[in-house]
Chain A
Amino acid sequence: MKEITGISEIVKSENLAYKKSGILTEDIMHYCPGCGHSTAHRILAEIIEEEGIQHDTIGVSPVGCSVFLYNYLDIDWQEAAHGRAPAVATGIKRLLPDKFVFTYQGDGDLAAIGTAETIHSCNRGENILIIFVNNGIYGMTGGQMAPTTLPGMKSSTSPYGRDVKTMGNPLKMTDIVATLPGTYYVTRQSVHTPANVRKAKKALRKAVHYQKLNKGTCFVEIVSNCPSGWKMTPVQSNKWMEENMFPFYPLGDLKIPEAQPVQQTKSE
């Protein structure tokens, strides 16, 4: 392979191994350096482009750090009230059953204020995809304790660490929804290394494909970091995530369609 020198050489199409998805807009993302949201957005945009479903996709953006998600992906969007995205998505999908409808929600949105909407939309088996980005903290409002904050973890509203005796235990929403008959595919991923990005993208693509079957809710958790909220550098935050978040929120599939008949036989 010939040596490439200078930007003019790099941007030549034959030298490009990677490009910005056409679904991503020109808006500059507002995320902190090292935050996982932008990577999650990017793979979502790539899948929508690669699957050719832009004209069939309606996204529901949440309240939280990703509240401006609708500025970054060139698709139709509805901005939901805090926690209500699965109910909004239910309304959209019931009236436009042939469309691909997804929500993108953080942990405060999905696992605290929106617990009822999350559980009941999954329990009804709404044919939507829920993308759940879990970084164990309220990032947008300045680093308060979230339902998913780990025991002992410090935040601005648990400055001495989360005391589970008075503040409750972290909620494993993904594990809960995996037990519901209405969910079809439930998985937990991360986007902090190239290998994990590839796995997460594969999982999201599966979810998009499963969605077309109209066999129930697909639920993809992405365990992510919050360098600003955790008061760490991006590198430190990723290491801390591996050492602390992953043991509590282990990566991998929690429910895969192929395994479901076996599970059902057991429970019966």
Chain B
Amino acid sequence: MKGNEAIAEAAIRAGADGYFGYPITPQSEILEYLMEANPYEKTGMVVLQAESEIAAINMVYGGAGCGKKVMTSSSSPGISLKQEGITYIAGAELPCLIVNVVRGGPGLGTIQPAQSDYFQAVKGGGHGDYHLIVLAPSSVQEMADFVGLAFDLAFKYRNPAMILSDGAIGQMMEKVWLGPQQERSKTVPEWATTGKPETRQRNIITSLELDPNRQEIFNLKLVAKYNEIREKEVRFEEFQCEDAEYMLVAYGTSARVCQKAVELAREQGIKVGLLRPITLFPYPSKQINKLAGRVRLFLTVEMSAGQMVEDVRLAVNGKVPVHYYGRMGGMIPTPDEVVDNLKKIITGS
């Protein structure tokens, strides 16, 4: 099945309570699949097409504020529109899932795949000091698997989570194993707005605090939460790193390309490994720094003008050179291109 369809089916099976979306290429299959599947009849999951991405993310805010497992999906220009709602959700500490099936930009850009929303996803995107938990699938299987994982992490930390995919994985068809149908949760979190009974104080979902002292205390609480996430939730995959002299770093579609590039390079006797970050926030900085102690150089490969490479440089912290190779505008780098670039860097030409 398609990556987009896998997300939709996985959401139903994960026991999601609601999905609010707005059509945009290349991810409209998520909304279409859910509308056709009509999960309300089966599990009670609400699916609604909103009048805009802005409305959709605010519907997510409302549903998440009730303690429900809710999600939205979009692609780059639509995610830009959602940023207002996303920062409010982060500020109100609400759990939810946002899927970004990235296409090339800036502006209307292209409908072809890209990884040019890394900054937007990992560095904030909306205003204020906040972070999303960002998961980067590199297969249709991971598109499905990360839905449940994203919800679990979102609820564990009361923080919005994002699946940062791209148009290639969204549109690609692969075999996928789907988990069994889970019941929708009947647990009501203590902070959820469900109508105030006499037995508790009223619950207020808000991100507003005019007293600078109290706002700073809240900001520090968020920082502590993000640090805990950095400590506990880093996920990555290493491919042929044990004896590697040269290290590729890539996520998502680029990581698949790089895996092939590693094989090609090793056939030519070049000892290359690949580190694939699975979580982009928290970033596997410690692991990269560790690898920096025993490889000659890093090459970051991404479908952008060089965004993730900044985090690799920060992690390497000057120990060895960090290079970048990328394609943009919907172009996907080939394994040969990656190997050629690596060889040029090694030979210094």
Please report the C-alpha to C-alpha distance between residue A120 and residue B197 in the assembled complex, in whole angstroms.
31
Residue B84 interfacial (CB < 8 Å): yes
Expressed in whole angstroms, the minimum distance between the Cβ of B19 and any Cβ of chain A is: 11
Please report the C-alpha to C-alpha distance between residue A67 and residue B204 in the assembled complex, in whole angstroms.
12
Please report the C-alpha to C-alpha distance between residue A89 and residue B92 in the assembled complex, in whole angstroms.
16
> What 0/1 readout, one digit per residue, does chain A (223-261) give for beta carbons within 8 Å of chain B?
000000000000000000000000000000000000000
Residue B23 interfacial (CB < 8 Å): no
Residue A46 interfacial (CB < 8 Å): no
Highest count of chain B CB atoms <10 Å: which of A80, A91, A100: A91
Residue B118 interfacial (CB < 8 Å): no
Stretch at the interface among B55-63, B163-171, B270-278, B318-326: B55-63
Cross-interface CB contact of A54 among B64, B92, B196, B205, cutoff 8 Å: B196
Expressed in whole angstroms, the minimum distance between the Cβ of B154 and any Cβ of chain A is: 16
Residue of A nearest to B69 (CB): A95
Beta-carbon contact of A94 and B48 below 8 Å: yes
Please report the C-alpha to C-alpha distance between residue A118 and residue B60 in the assembled complex, in whole angstroms.
17
Residue of B nearest to A120 (CB): B51
Beta-carbon contact of B204 and A87 below 8 Å: no
> What 0/1 readout, one digit per residue, does chain A (49-80) give for beta carbons within 8 Å of chain B?
00000111110100000010010001111111
Chain B residues lying within 8 Å of A117, measured Cβ to Cβ, are 51, 54-55, 58
Residue B198 interfacial (CB < 8 Å): yes
Residue of B nearest to A94 (CB): B46
Residue A42 interfacial (CB < 8 Å): no
> What 0/1 readout, one digit per residue, does chain B (63-99) give for beta carbons within 8 Å of chain A?
1111010100000000000001100100010000000
Residue B193 interfacial (CB < 8 Å): yes
> What 0/1 readout, one digit per residue, does chain B (34-64) give for beta carbons within 8 Å of chain A?
0000000000001010111011101111111
Beta-carbon contact of B54 and A92 below 8 Å: no
Beta-carbon contact of A77 and B55 below 8 Å: no
Residue B194 interfacial (CB < 8 Å): yes
Residue B182 interfacial (CB < 8 Å): no
Also in contact, A79 and B204, with CB within 8 A (given A55-B197, A57-B195, A90-B48): yes
Please report the C-alpha to C-alpha distance between residue A79 and residue B46 in the assembled complex, in whole angstroms.
22
Residue of B nearest to A89 (CB): B62
Beta-carbon contact of B205 and A91 below 8 Å: no
Count of interface residues, chain B, beta-carbon cutoff 8 Å: 39
Also in contact, A95 and B55, with CB within 8 A (given A77-B204, A78-B62): no
Beta-carbon contact of A76 and B62 below 8 Å: no
Beta-carbon contact of A78 and B51 below 8 Å: no
Expressed in whole angstroms, the minimum distance between the Cβ of B214 and any Cβ of chain A is: 14
Please report the C-alpha to C-alpha distance between residue A89 and residue B17 in the assembled complex, in whole angstroms.
16
Please report the C-alpha to C-alpha distance between residue A58 and residue B52 in the assembled complex, in whole angstroms.
24
Beta-carbon contact of A90 and B196 below 8 Å: no
Residue of A nearest to B46 (CB): A94
Beta-carbon contact of A75 and B196 below 8 Å: yes
Please report the C-alpha to C-alpha distance between residue A57 and residue B203 in the assembled complex, in whole angstroms.
11
Chain A residues lying within 8 Å of B48, measured Cβ to Cβ, are 90, 94
Beta-carbon contact of B195 and A99 below 8 Å: yes
Residue A43 interfacial (CB < 8 Å): no
Please report the C-alpha to C-alpha distance between residue A60 and residue B92 in the assembled complex, in whole angstroms.
14
Beta-carbon contact of B55 and A94 below 8 Å: no
Please report the C-alpha to C-alpha distance between residue A88 and residue B206 in the assembled complex, in whole angstroms.
12
Cross-interface CB contact of A79 among B85, B197, B206, cutoff 8 Å: B206
Please report the C-alpha to C-alpha distance between residue A128 and residue B65 in the assembled complex, in whole angstroms.
17
Expressed in whole angstroms, the minimum distance between the Cβ of A98 and any Cβ of chain B is: 9
Chain A residues lying within 8 Å of B195, measured Cβ to Cβ, are 54-58, 75-76, 96, 99-100
Also in contact, A94 and B84, with CB within 8 A (given A55-B196, A74-B202, A79-B204): no
Cross-interface CB contact of B55 among A67, A70, A79, A84, cutoff 8 Å: A84
Beta-carbon contact of B205 and A79 below 8 Å: yes
Chain B residues lying within 8 Å of A88, measured Cβ to Cβ, are 58-59, 61-62, 65
Please report the C-alpha to C-alpha distance between residue A245 and residue B204 in the assembled complex, in whole angstroms.
34
Expressed in whole angstroms, the minimum distance between the Cβ of A112 and any Cβ of chain B is: 14
Please report the C-alpha to C-alpha distance between residue A75 and residue B204 in the assembled complex, in whole angstroms.
8
Residue A116 interfacial (CB < 8 Å): yes
Residues of B at under 8 Å CB distance from A?
A: 17-18, 20, 46, 48, 50-52, 54-56, 58-66, 68, 70, 84-85, 88, 92, 193-198, 202-208
